[in-house]
Amino acid sequence: MEFDEEKAVEFINGYMKEKIGKTYPEDEILNVIDMIWDYYEENGLLDPDIDDEDDSIPSDEIVDYVTRMIKKDKGALIDADDIPAIVAAELAYEESIDEI
């Protein structure tokens, strides 16, 4: 199954509502998704020649990266304390579509 931004936003906000009791506007979640994918690109994780056996994605590094980027984005509404949950939800969404 292919990555679907709309479904990803729904998945992440559902996860957020369940785990921390709040959600964010679609454009804020999409901004974080873009940051995660920027991290992948900057670290060569989108290279099709990468060994698929090593699926370990360093979520703590992604959280750190997104946190730095959010701090630079003066218009962002994302609370820095919520970034670990958003990243975990995005990674869980990726995992869910890989299983299909």
| pLDDT for position 47 | 76
Instruction: Please state, in angstroms and rounded to a whole number, the distance separating the CA atoms of residues 83 and 64.
Output: 9
Instruction: Please state, in angstroms and rounded to a whole number, the distance separating the CA atoms of residues 82 and 62.
Output: 13
Structural domain containing residue 84: 5-46+55-98
Where does 4-82 have alpha helices with state H? Answer: 5-20, 26-42, 59-72
Asked if the model's pLDDT at residue 20 lies above 60, the reply is yes
- The 8 Å CB, 24+ separation contacts for 56-61 are 57/91, 59/84, 59/87, 59/88, 59/91
Instruction: Please state, in angstroms and rounded to a whole number, the distance separating the CA atoms of residues 96 and 11.
Output: 10
Q: Give the pLDDT confidence of 31-88 residue by residue, as tens digits.
A: 999 999 999 999 988 877 665 555 567 899 999 999 999 999 999 999 999 999 999 9
Domain count of the fold of the chain: 1
| pLDDT for position 63 | 97
